[in-house]
Amino acid sequence: MNRVLEYLEQKRQELEQLPFILFVQDRSIDPWQRLSFAPCLAPMTMGFADLMVYGLRDVDSKDPDQQTLNAHTVVDDQHWRYLLQDLETLGMNAPMNFSGALEQLWGKHCGQTRNLIYTTMALARGATPIIRLVTLEAIEVAADVGFSKFRQVGQEIAAKTGKKLIYFGQSHQDVEDEHEAMGAKSIRGLITAHTWTPEEEKVALRHVDQVSACFTAMGAELLAYLLKAREAGPFWPLNPPKAG
């Protein structure tokens, strides 16, 4: 395993120990409460589609790595649809006026989910194709840490209700598995095959650090939201707890 992939795995292990991840795994807590952060993911999930199209994709490039990256972005740019379906299934699609929706999505409680997209968009623009691939893989590693745990909660909810989740369920993972099914053309396959210069490796590791830092900050923000939502419900900024 090369240095870049080793570093990605190191970051995976660190992310698995985040307090947010440990909270989501705690089966002593009601599963709906453990997924009550779901509305806060909307800026990240919707922004992820923009990252694929406007940050990572370059349809005019003749570079083989970029062309492979383009194919990966096509797989990923529709995942937001899964979140919308799950919000409905989870009963988190309550009627809300437009100004309320904006307050929900652009409030301080969603700041780090938005910052993740802003940061990764900046990292992607101007980067070489191989560095863009590393940036996307860093995102995929962090997402896999979270969604591997979210799926477990989704299974608990499905067992109670008979309703399967998609974004927080196995269907989402099946789509993600298409990346690795590409074999030598997978992101990890290309990272492994690349001949890394010292400068390229330094840039790649810096990108991994920045992506991991964004997910760490987002995890802290989501945990704070979860703890508040246990008292006030999943839309607590708009529905403060009643006095007394």
Euclidean distance between CA atoms 21 and 146, whole angstroms? 7
Check residue 161 and give its pLDDT.
93
Euclidean distance between CA atoms 14 and 142, whole angstroms? 10
Report H helices in the chain. Answer: 3-15, 19-25, 31-34, 42-50, 64-76, 80-89, 98-106, 111-124, 129-161, 170-180, 187-193, 198-232
Q: HSE (CB half, 13 Å, CA atoms) of 94?
A: 13
Euclidean distance between CA atoms 196 and 205, whole angstroms? 12
Which residues, 6+ apart, have CB-to-CB distance to 88 below 8 Å? none
Q: Is residue 189 part of a domain?
A: yes
Q: Is residue 240 part of a domain?
A: no
Which residues, 6+ apart, have CB-to-CB distance to 210 below 8 Å? 119, 123
Residue 25 contacts residue 148 (beta carbons within 8 Å): no
Domain hosting residue 57, numbered range: 3-232
Check residue 181 and give its pLDDT.
54
Tokens of 88: 């409905």
Q: Is residue 100 part of a domain?
A: yes
Euclidean distance between CA atoms 52 and 46, whole angstroms? 10
Check residue 99 and give its pLDDT.
87
Check residue 238 and give its pLDDT.
56
Q: Is residue 61 part of a domain?
A: yes
Euclidean distance between CA atoms 96 and 84, whole angstroms? 15
Q: pTM for this structure?
A: 0.89
Q: Is residue 242 part of a domain?
A: no
147-184 per-residue burial string, b: 16 or more CB within 10 A, e: under 16: bebbbebbbbbbeeeeeebbbbbeebeeeeeebeebee
Check residue 182 and give its pLDDT.
53
DSSP-assigned letter for residue 48: H
Euclidean distance between CA atoms 163 and 233, whole angstroms? 21
Check residue 180 and give its pLDDT.
55
Check residue 233 and give its pLDDT.
65
Euclidean distance between CA atoms 19 and 177, whole angstroms? 27
Q: Is residue 238 part of a domain?
A: no
Which residues, 6+ apart, have CB-to-CB distance to 84 below 8 Å? 93
Q: Is residue 244 part of a domain?
A: no
The tally of domains found in the chain comes to 1
Q: Which segments of the chain have a pLDDT < 70?
A: 1, 171-185, 233-244
Check residue 72 and give its pLDDT.
86
Q: What is the CATH number of the domain that holds 97?
A: 1.20.910.10
pLDDT tens string 167-209? 998 765 655 555 555 545 689 999 999 999 999 999 999 999 9
Euclidean distance between CA atoms 47 and 112, whole angstroms? 12
Q: Is residue 241 part of a domain?
A: no
